[in-house]
Amino acid sequence: MKNILTQLYFKMPQAFYKFTSVNADHTTKEYTEQPVPKLRESGSMRHFVVKSVLFALLFLLVTLSLKAQKLNEYVAFGIENNLALKQKKVDYEIAIKALKEAKGLFLPEVSINARYTVASGGRVIELPIGDLMNPVYQSLNQLMQLPPENQFPQIENEEIPFMRGKEQDTKLSLVQPLFNAKLNANYKLKKEQMGISQSQIKQYENELRFEIKKAYFNYLKAYEVTKLLEKTEELIDENLRINQKLHENNMATLDVVLRAKTEVGKLELEQTEAQKNYRMAQHYFNFLLNRKLDEEIERIKQTQVKVLPPEEMLQQTAWGNREELKQMNYGSRAYGQLAKIENASTLPSVYLAADYGFQGEEYHFTENDDYAMLTVGVKWTLFNGNTSKAKKDQALLQQKQIDFQKEEVQQLIQLELREAILDYEQKKKAINLAQNQLKGILETYRIVKKKYQNGMVNFIELLDVQNVRMQVEMNTILLQYEQLNSLAKLEKTIGSSLQ
């Protein structure tokens, strides 16, 4: 951009250069005596005027761009570093992790389960083998007349403990859901909740952008007020000095001097209040940017937008950009998914489970100790007291409630937009009136001051005009920055910049 300005500047006619620049080594007389080349043709004059106008417009556009750029830099810095916004971003990251968690439920769960048990006591399984077999053995021994060494022996009844004294079970398990309608609805629910968190970040960014601009304009306003009071201080001190001289020369009474001193004290009180407001505005602006409270702020005078777009266009922009409406849409869809989750409770869920491991009293990993098991399971809730239906109905009613709230928010945004437009237009008209009033009071002050110097009016009349002048100047400053705040509020309402 600077290169373009340089090229345009050096392409200007030499006459324009000589009219607009003065060499510091020459006197005013030498400057005025330099010959000015005559523009021989009317076409050359038009060419010269066009280039001059283009240069001025380009310079104005660059200046306005740099002004807007600095404020935008402050806004971007605040959005990047504001602590409250960082907390919102953490909430968004939590929502992302919740979405990943819901996605992971579709994948198989693989785990290693190991168990080693030492037990004693417990139930015992009694097997009356002796009672069953001993009579048979006795009958066989008698019938076969077997010698004692070859006879069938007498056996005892068996007692088998239900629990092993020692046992280990080590296995690799896999569980894979084959059909579960809740999982899909839950994933979509988490996705909508993540959208709400993301929208809340953008909403806060819009709010923060407005607060930063408002704080910057208030800082500039406080600075302008302090400078106005400093300028007024010079006038009041000069009045006091003059009146003291007049009193010393018996040309003014003592009450005039005392009144001038009262005005000095009154101004000092106003200056302390203005300095406090200036420091507080500086601290609050730096607080929003998460900087040191006393850090210097670059002051760039801002400009206003003269003509606003049509209200219908602003309204459509607001409805398309406002994050509150987007959150309503996310919330409505979220309650719809919640209703689907409850509706899925009436459907069966199917899963597949596979186990492979080793069992035994000792740790032996051989073919004789391993086992494998494959299971297909189905769970189908046939009746749960209509609790799922009640929860589904609640979710649908909450969805309907959000839809009504969305209509209300749209109307509130329309009302907020109408109020912001009227406020901006009123401030613009008030500034025009204040500027005209300022021109009039400055001329009045010049006339009254001249009359006072010639002894045509008394000091009280001069002081009244001086106070009116300060009030008008103060009101003009306040209105200028109130209009900028009004413009920033309008931008917040539509969720977009107008500059």
Report yes or no on 286 lying in a domain. Answer: yes
Residue predicted with more confidence, 141 or 48: 141
Residue predicted with more confidence, 472 or 35: 472
**Is the domain of 307 the same as that of 409?**
yes
Contact 59, 8 (CB under 8 A): no
**Is the domain of 145 the same as that of 214?**
no
Residue predicted with more confidence, 255 or 287: 287
Please give the average per-residue pLDDT across 115-133, as a whole number: 82
Q: In the chain, how many domains are there?
A: 3
Write down the pLDDT at residue 120: 77
Report yes or no on 234 lying in a domain. Answer: yes
Write down the pLDDT at residue 47: 56
b/e code 386-398 from CB counts within 10 Å (16+ = b): eebeebbeebbeb
Which residues, including other chains, have CB under 8 Å from residue 379's CB and lie 6 or more apart?
348, 349, 351
Contact 143, 153 (CB under 8 A): no
Q: Judge residue 328's burial from the number of C-beta atoms within 10 Å of its C-beta, 0-12 exposed, 13-18 middle, 19 or more buried.
A: buried
One-letter amino acid for residue 137 of the chain: Y
b/e code 89-106 from CB counts within 10 Å (16+ = b): eeebeebeebbeebeeee
Report yes or no on 90 lying in a domain. Answer: no
Q: Is pLDDT above 80 for 400? A: yes
**Is the domain of 292 the same as that of 227?**
yes
Q: Is pLDDT above 60 for 181? A: yes
Mean pLDDT of the chain: 83
Contact 260, 241 (CB under 8 A): no
Residue predicted with more confidence, 104 or 139: 104
Report yes or no on 462 lying in a domain. Answer: yes
Q: Judge residue 294's burial from the number of C-beta atoms within 10 Å of its C-beta, 0-12 exposed, 13-18 middle, 19 or more buried.
A: exposed
What range defines the domain where residue 151 resides?
Answer: 122-163
Q: Is pLDDT above 60 for 402? A: yes
Report yes or no on 85 lying in a domain. Answer: no
Q: For 105, which DSSP code?
A: T
Please give the average per-residue pLDDT across 387-400, as a whole number: 93
Write down the pLDDT at residue 68: 59
Contact 327, 203 (CB under 8 A): yes
- Residues of the chain with pLDDT > 70, as a percent, come to 85
How far is 239 from 469, CA to CA, in rounded Å? 15
Write down the pLDDT at residue 22: 34
Please give the average per-residue pLDDT across 125-136, as a whole number: 84
**Is the domain of 483 the same as that of 392?**
yes
**Is the domain of 152 the same as that of 213?**
no
Q: What is the pLDDT of residues 304-339, one digit of tens each?
A: 666 888 999 999 999 999 999 999 999 999 999 999
Please give the average per-residue pLDDT across 139-149, as a whole number: 80
Report yes or no on 326 lying in a domain. Answer: yes
**Is the domain of 393 the same as that of 474?**
yes
Q: Is pLDDT above 60 for 428? A: yes
Please give the average per-residue pLDDT across 456-460, as a whole number: 82
Q: Is pLDDT above 50 for 386? A: yes
Q: For 368, which DSSP code?
A: T
**Is the domain of 210 the same as that of 159?**
no
How far is 33 from 25, CA to CA, in rounded Å? 14
Report yes or no on 88 lying in a domain. Answer: no
Give the 3-state DSSP-derived string for 293-361, with helices as H, strands as E and coil as C: CCCCCCCCCCCCCCCCCCHHHHHHHHHHHCHHHHHHHHHHHHHHHHHHHHHHCCCCEEEEEEEEEEEEC
**Is the domain of 141 the same as that of 245?**
no
**Is the domain of 488 the same as that of 421?**
yes
Contact 322, 410 (CB under 8 A): no
Which residues, including other chains, have CB under 8 Å from residue 499's CB and lie 6 or more apart?
68, 305
How far is 179 from 143, CA to CA, in rounded Å? 68
How far is 293 from 146, CA to CA, in rounded Å? 114
Q: Is pLDDT above 90 for 175? A: yes
Domain end (from 110, 137, 163): 163
How far is 368 from 356, CA to CA, in rounded Å? 13
Instruction: Give the least confident one: 63-77, 374-388, 411-425.
Output: 63-77
How far is 482 from 498, CA to CA, in rounded Å? 16
Write down the pLDDT at residue 31: 32
Report yes or no on 49 lying in a domain. Answer: yes
Q: Judge residue 459's burial from the number of C-beta atoms within 10 Å of its C-beta, 0-12 exposed, 13-18 middle, 19 or more buried.
A: buried
Contact 210, 248 (CB under 8 A): no
One-letter amino acid for residue 287 of the chain: F
**Is the domain of 132 the same as that of 228?**
no
Which two structure tokens, joined as six digits, stand for 483?
A: 């209009």
Reported as a pLDDT band with limits 50, 70 and 90, residue 499 is low
Write down the pLDDT at residue 459: 78
Chain centroid to Cα 75, Å, comes to: 11
Write down the pLDDT at residue 384: 86
Please give the average per-residue pLDDT across 76-92, as a whole number: 91
Residue predicted with more confidence, 236 or 330: 330
> Distance of CA 458 to CAs 255, 356, 361, 450, 452, Å?
12, 110, 118, 11, 6
Write down the pLDDT at residue 304: 65
Write down the pLDDT at residue 371: 92
pTM tops 0.85: no
- Give the Cβ contact number of residue 191 at 10 Å: 18
**Is the domain of 473 the same as that of 325?**
yes
Residue predicted with more confidence, 255 or 44: 255
> Distance of CA 275 to CAs 177, 194, 227, 268, 298, Å?
69, 46, 10, 10, 17
**Is the domain of 146 the same as that of 272?**
no
Write down the pLDDT at residue 59: 44
Instruction: Give the least confident one: 29-38, 238-247, 312-321, 337-346.
Output: 29-38
Domain end (from 100, 131, 163): 163
- Whose tokens are 């200046």? That residue is 63
Phi and psi torsions of 372, nearest 5°: -140, 145
Q: What is the CATH number of the domain that holds 448?
A: 1.20.1600.10
